């Protein structure tokens, strides 16, 4: 009997991810329901990314028209084809992540010092931070002047929202270097390390029970 191995990312419904992302690009509700709950003004912002995504469609050879209206019938069809291709590719990226003892390695940029780090680390993580371009978290209140840490942790696979992570990775507007891994709140994590993003020096963290 041949044994087959499974990956937790196998739960991703590629077709559903493609449809939801296409709907977001073409005027439907935004694919990121959590972000919309946090910031309702983003509810219709998917179409703002459609033009950037159309540039990706040109790069993929799905169209040769550099001025194609993404909301035209032809443009919407090109975006649909792109979403189908992109969803499958992004699902494969997530299926390729290493799973160690039921956990996946993830990183999070936090714009504060170790003394201000909260036990609830949040749900916005990344599975690849190698290409991060600047030594600061752009959303931090202090901007480039704010101290920023890279927190590295092992997150249980059941804490990962694999479906939303796939759609986050599909977002060409953010670029492939920002590989978001979306997790669910309330799960215990194993903290691995914490370093100053600007100096790469390790930081000593308070002795807390860390959670997503």
In a domain, 32, yes or no: yes
* Strand intervals (E) in 13-142: 103-110, 124-128
Per cent of the chain over pLDDT 90 is 54
Selected residue with higher pLDDT from 106 and 146: 106
Q: Indicate whether 23 and 63 sit together in one domain.
A: yes
Q: Is the pLDDT confidence value at 141 over 80? A: no
The per-residue pLDDT for range 149-161, each reduced to its tens digit, is 889 999 999 999 9
| pLDDT recorded at residue 26 | 95
- Rounded Cα distance between 187 and 192, Å, is 16
145: phi then psi, degrees, rounded to nearest 5: -85, -10
| pLDDT recorded at residue 1 | 43
The per-residue pLDDT for range 84-140, each reduced to its tens digit, is 999 999 999 999 999 999 999 999 988 888 888 889 999 999 988 765 555 556 566
| pLDDT recorded at residue 191 | 87
| pLDDT recorded at residue 44 | 79
Q: pTM here?
A: 0.89
In a domain, 68, yes or no: yes
Segments forming the whole domain that contains residue 78: 12-95
Selected residue with higher pLDDT from 81 and 138: 81
Q: How confident is the model at residue 143 (pLDDT cuts 50, 70, 90)?
A: low
Q: How far apart are the first and last CA of the chain?
A: 39
Q: Indicate whether 88 and 119 sit together in one domain.
A: no
- Rounded Cα distance between 145 and 111, Å, is 10
In a domain, 169, yes or no: yes
Question: What are the beta bridge partners of residue 152?
Answer: 107, 193
Question: What mean pLDDT is predicted for residues 29-39?
Answer: 89
Q: Is the pLDDT confidence value at 36 over 70? A: yes
Q: Indicate whether 52 and 123 sit together in one domain.
A: no
């Amino acid at each position: 009997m041949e044994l087959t191995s499974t990956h937790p990312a196998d739960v991703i419904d590629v077709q559903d991810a493609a449809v939801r992302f296409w709907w977001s690009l073409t005027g439907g509700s935004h694919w990121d329901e959590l972000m919309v709950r946090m910031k309702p003004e983003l509810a219709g912002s998917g179409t703002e990314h459609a033009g950037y995504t159309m540039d990706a469609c040109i790069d993929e050879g799905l169209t040769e028209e550099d001025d194609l209206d993404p909301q035209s019938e032809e443009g919407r069809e090109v975006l649909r084809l792109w979403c189908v291709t992109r969803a499958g590719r992004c699902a494969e990226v997530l299926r390729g992540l290493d799973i160690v003892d039921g956990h996946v390695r993830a990183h999070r940029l936090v714009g504060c010092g170790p003394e201000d780090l909260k036990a609830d680390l949040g749900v916005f993580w990344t599975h690849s931070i190698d290409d991060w371009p600047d030594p600061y978290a752009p959303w931090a209140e202090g901007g480039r002047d704010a101290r920023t840490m890279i927190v590295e942790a092992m997150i249980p696979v059941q804490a990962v929202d694999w479906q939303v992570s796939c759609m986050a990775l599909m977002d060409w507007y953010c670029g492939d270097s920002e590989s978001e891994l979306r997790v669910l709140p309330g799960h215990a994590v194993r903290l691995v390390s914490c370093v100053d993003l600007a100096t790469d020096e390790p930081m000593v963290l308070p002795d807390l029970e860390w959670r997503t």
